[in-house]
Structure 1
Amino acid sequence: MIISIAAIRKHLALPEISWQICLLAIIGGCASAFLVVLFTLTIEEIQQLYLIKRDNYSSLDELSRFDLPIIGAIIILFFGWLTGYKYLRTGIPFVLHRLKVAHGVIPFKNTLNQFWGSAVALASGFSVGREGPAVHLGAACSSYMANALKLPYNSVRTLCACGIAAGIAATFNTPIAAVIFVMEVIMREYKVHIFVPVMLAAIVGSLITRSVFGTSHDFEYFHPIALDQYHYFSLVLLAIVLGILAAAFNKYLVLIIKKSVKYHIVPRLLLAAFITGILGYLVPGAMGTGTSAIDISLTSNLSLGLLFSLLIAKLLMTMFALGLGIPGGIIGPTLGIGAIAGACAGALVIQVLPGEYLGSDFILMGMAGFMAASLNAPLAALLTVVELSSQLELVVPAMIVITIASIVSRQLCKNESIFTMQLDAQNLSYRKPPIEESLQNIGVLAVMKDNLLILEQASTRTIIGELLSSHQSQLIINQESTQATEINSYYWAQFDAEIADDDGEDIEHNLAKKLILHKLIPLNHQVTLAEAYLALVEQRSGAVYIYGKDINDCIGLVTFEQLRIYLVEGKLH
């Protein structure tokens, strides 16, 4: 059994499709989806205590709408106090950061705060989304499983992506959008060996949520679109407005993060609750994830002033909630903001073209355009709206809005993805040099040399004798440390096997000159070639030794020459 597990780990260290990684993706996807379903049910159970319908905060009286976010913030702070305030970092930016610095392994206390903190935040009327917690919980669940099995870190990253896809699919019942979101926003690369297991995990997540909540999508109540080609000019104008609005939204959200980061989390969350309570008192439709705002936007004959006030309230609620640290996602609110902006555009079109009601069509276009421009994820935005509304007919008009909004936001307004802007504002690293990006896709187990000859307290003559009588090409000398507090140190000797001389003494003399001793750096068997490269890049020679159960259990070597050949030729040796 031990041999088979070791063989599986070695196979998973390669960036290849295999039944092993697919099976683990399905298992991890199931666990992640069930955790996200439990999270969703927790929110609904809390809301049933005081709401007649999910996210319908208009049913509460004015005082309750003001008090509810403050009570929620106090509960969130209580959980933060129990676990430690430093573990309150959650959401998609934090997951992106952990993928870069820790291969997707997430501290357990952060996950506890994500589950309970976000459940309370979403049930308390804060303008945050469910997808941020879904990404965090899915990533954490799959990465815990992979790390418990001591899998190579490159496969831990892949399974982390699988958990994210399963979590998003379980949240919205949108498997295609979940896959594209993972590849476009989270991993930011399209590799077949990642794409296939991610797709399997998304399928599993969708099947699980369908078995619990049914097969319907959130926005299937939208009427079939009735946009014609002569409406496209109006869509172009809408897209320009959406691009500018998304750039302004991102800019001021990040500004709030930068200005508030120097203050303690307690006054920040209480301020967010106070602002949400005041705005909820005045505009109840702006509270919640965004579904309430979308429902109001679909109401016929709403005045432009009412829609505009709803838009301003939703923008302010979302910016202050997320900017001041309330746990939750951003995609749900962006869909709500886009929907209200689209409804405003539809109201204007009615005034220009009397008799034509295109409110629901412009709402869908607004959702797609604002999400694409704010997240810098055009394909994910397109497929999200298509799957949620179950309307393939909106692909062409939505593509027009998405492309123009993205160009305006990115090129004219110099806007970036809100996730990368949040990471920069919070000083969380998420970029690595291209060399490290390439090397972290391969685990050391896949390339390490395990034909080892280990000697203890060996002299030079002993080394030469062993080399002459052995067919091994790697030699390790175990020298006991002079201090008991230090671990044993290992050295690697490399020799030229082509020496040909009839005189044995000359062979020994020449071979002694060929010996090159390097102090070996110990690395865990889970690491990737990126860690091996960083350990050897300064000296540009030598090797690292890979250990198994403990630091003295040497199971193989990875040489700098192997790394150099791979970087130059793209081949593994």
Structure 2
Amino acid sequence: MAPLLRQQLRKQLAMPTTTIAICLLGLAGGVLAALMIAGFRFAIEYGAHLIGNDTYWQEPLPTTLRFTIPIAAALLIYGIFRLSGSRYVRMGIPYVIHRMKQHYGMLPWRSTVNQFFGGIIALIAGYSVGREGPAVHLGAAASTWLGFHVDAPKNALRTLAACGIAAAIAASFNTPLAAMVLVMEVVLREYKVHVFIPVMLSAVAGSLITEEIFGVASELAMLSAQDIPTTQLPWVVILGVVLGVVGVIFKKLMLDVMDTVKDMSLLTRLLFAGIITASLAVIIPTSLGPGLTAIEQVINHQGEMSLLTTLLLAKLFAAAIALGMGIPGGLIGAVFGIGAIIAAVFVGAVDVLGIQQALSFDSFILLGMAGILAACIHAPMAALLAIVELSRSVEIIIPAMLVIVPAYLISSQLFKSKSIFIAQLELQDLPYQLAPVHVALQKTGVENVMETDFKLLLEPTQNELVDSLESAQAKTVIVMSVDEDNQPLYRLVSYDITAGDSPSLSYTPIKGLRITSTLAEVYDEIGQQRRGAVYIYESNGEHPCGIVTWETVRKALQRELA
């Protein structure tokens, strides 16, 4: 990219507003993320074919394979993690939330490699995890990689990460609305128009790409939502209460597993997950497979209460073990399957009691998925839109609201349970919160506000400095000198107002920041003193191209917080 074009693009991206530049770049990042997810999905399907699992866990494999595949997969995942040389093995949605808050969404390449190959192996091997966790991680990594290579400022990288996540989720499930809301409600945890517009574009791109490659069929095409009579709505609310309670139990089980094994070696944890999953697969073949495959099992065994109850216990345990012990997969797909089984058991129990006309099986399965998701991740709007889009049905909206509200309130208020992602971050000691000052200042790149009309002097005399200050008027005056290691030193020069009538000068050392930095980084340098400045440089620290003073930061902060 030509230097002038890159500079113009970077300056537009530094603005905390919706610009054509961020929309186009977000769209490009979304396309890249969607293509990566398409490759991810193809690899899973091809891997399933290689191990002879063409029905994708709908028909049980031979007992020997059911036992050996999860254990072999655990060893393969460990080998990949070790080859990547990662010091810490952290992946998935909680880790992405942490990186969004602390590192503008930029993800280490090693963790991305681990997530890509580890997620493929885990899903092929039948672990009870979802593919949305890897999708979020890979989407953010792909989009920020593009932003990094066009030298985008860090505030834009954060937006690009959000775009990549939205495109990846849309490409995984063909749910663009739910993808947008999930990004805002779960990952960013804020709604901003200047982020929402490019995220919307990238979600559309992800959805269109997945339709072109995989077709327009919904993941839940086998379910047909029907109108639920008003007389059955109390049962919807009761189901919401049940889902809230089970959601809390599942979170507690998974977090207890994480806490128990956190001091174990990586190999031990993965082997334990493999052996337990393999043992369950021998006893209960239907326990294998990601969450959405459990829905097909529910449909195939409708009304078989003993089998469904056994499957529910197996899936609760298998998902908690796999996710708690570090198998690289997602939680949302896993709880979707659990919610569907709970709803199937609930409908069967009500039908056995005979105190209500037969409940709509398909509709209640969808409601079970919506309620358990809201109870676990505390994102009611994302849960609602996900079910509406997956079912392609508007009739489900009102019942879904009635099941989501009690499930969410039971989890968050009655049991004081946190979102599973937040609880995971706290257990791993990963910070996910920022002071309001930093949140506000992260949105603006320094290139948008820096002063370029400053005066730079090389080791001037006292008289030259006084003359420069008098003639500079409102310009900032900076003095450059060289230290004993021949490194440049920069100081901000001003009149010392405490010196009385004598023309005494005040020298304030200033540090340099890369032009892709944000005002939050400027605040970190000079916020404690509430004065001074930093100089901005292009690709090295020798040639300042701009100055950001404390006054500039203060005005930007007032503008944002207003």
TM-score above 0.5: yes
1:150-229 to 2 correspondence within 5 Å?
Answer: 150-229=151-230
Does 1:34 find its partner at 2:24?
no
Query: How far, CA to CA, are the matches of 2:136 and 2:198 in structure 1?
Result: 16
Q: State the Cα distance separating 1:300 from its structure 2 match.
A: 5.2
Partners of 2:559 and 2:372 in 1: CA distance: 43
Distance 1:356 1:571 in 2: 54
Q: Deviations over 1:500-540 (max 9, x none)?
A: xxxxxxxx995834x43211011111111111111112222
SS of 1:494's equivalent in the other structure is strand
Runs of 4+ with deviation above 6 angstroms: none
Q: Please point out which of 495, 500, 512 is paired with 2:503.
A: 512
- Corresponding residue to 1:408 among 404, 407, 410: 410
User: For residues 543 and 85 of structure 1, do their structure 2 counterparts lie closer, same or farther at Cα, with a shift above 3 Å needed?
Assistant: closer
What do residues 93-143 of structure 1 show as CA deviations (whole Å, max 9, x unaligned)? 111111122111111111111110110000001111100111011000010
Alpha-carbon distance between aligned partners in 2 of 1:303 and 1:4, rounded to the nearest angstrom: 65
CA contact (8 A) 1:410 1:416 kept: yes
Q: Is the 8 A contact 1:162 1:201 kept in 2?
A: yes
Q: CA deviation at 1:493?
A: 1.8
Kindly provide the amino acid, as one letter, of the partner of residue 331 in structure 2: I
Look up the match of 2:351: 350
Q: How does 1:476-491 map to 2 (within 5 A)?
A: 476-484=478-486, 487-491=487-491
What is the CA–CA distance in structure 2 between the aligned matches of 1:179 and 1:543, rounded to whole Å? 38
Percent of aligned pairs with the same amino acid: 39
Determine the structure 2 residue equivalent to 1:270. 271
Question: Which of 545, 552, 560 is matched with 1:562 structurally?
Answer: 552
Given the superposition, is the C-alpha separation of residues 552 and 571 from structure 1 closer, same or farther in structure 2, using an over 3 Å criterion? farther
- Could you tell me how far 1:16 is from its partner in structure 2? 0.7
Q: Residues 26 and 334 of structure 1: is their aligned pair in 2 closer, same or farther, counting only changes over 3 Å?
A: same
Structure 1: which amino acid aligns with 2:152? L
* Paired residue secondary structure (1:170): helix
Q: TM-score by structure 1 length? A: 0.94
Q: Could you tell which deviates more after superposition, 84-93 or 515-524?
A: 84-93
Separation in structure 2 between the aligned mates of residue 157 and residue 286 of structure 1, nearest angstrom: 38
**Deviation string, structure 1 residues 233-276 (Cα, Å, up to 9, x no partner):** 11111111111111111122112112211111000000001111
The residue type equivalent to 1:384 in the other structure is: A
Distance 2:317 2:148 in 1: 40
Structure 2: gaps (5+ residues): none
Which residue type is aligned with residue 257 of structure 1? M
The count of residues paired between Structure 1 and Structure 2 equals 559
Q: Which residue in the other structure is 2:120 paired with?
A: 119
Q: CA deviation at 1:483?
A: 3.0
Q: CA deviation at 1:571?
A: 8.9
* CA-CA distance at 1:378 after TM superposition: 0.5
Q: TM-score, normalised by structure 2?
A: 0.96
* Cα deviations by residue, 1:294-343 (Å, 9 ceiling, x for unpaired): 11212355332211111111011111101101001111001000000000
Distance 2:182 2:367 in 1: 19
Contact 1:13-1:443 at 8 Å conserved across structures? yes
Query: Does residue 382 of the first structure (1) align with residue 384 of the second (2)?
Result: yes
CA contact (8 A) 1:152 1:526 kept: yes
CA contact (8 A) 1:473 1:494 kept: no
Question: Structure 1 CA distance, aligned partners of 2:455 and 2:170?
Answer: 51
> Relative to structure 1, is the Cα distance of residues 301 and 54 closer, same or farther in structure 2, using a 3 angstrom cutoff?
closer
Q: Which amino acid aligns with 2:461?
A: S
Q: Distance in 1 between matches of 2:69 and 2:195?
A: 42
Gaps of 5+ in 1: 500-507
Q: What's the CA shift string for 1:265-288, capped at 9, x where partnerless?
A: 000000001111111112222212
Contact 2:301–2:308 under 8 Å retained in 1 = no
* Aligned CA-pair RMSD: 1.9
What amino acid is aligned across from residue 512 of structure 1 in structure 2?
A: P
Q: Secondary structure at the match of 1:176?
A: helix
What SS does the corresponding residue of 1:125 show, helix, strand or coil? coil
Q: Which residue of 1 aligns with 2:9?
A: 8
Alignment map for 1:173-572 (pairs within 5 Å)? 173-299=174-300, 301-353=302-354, 356-471=358-473, 473-484=475-486, 487-494=487-494, 512-513=503-504, 515-568=505-558, 570=560
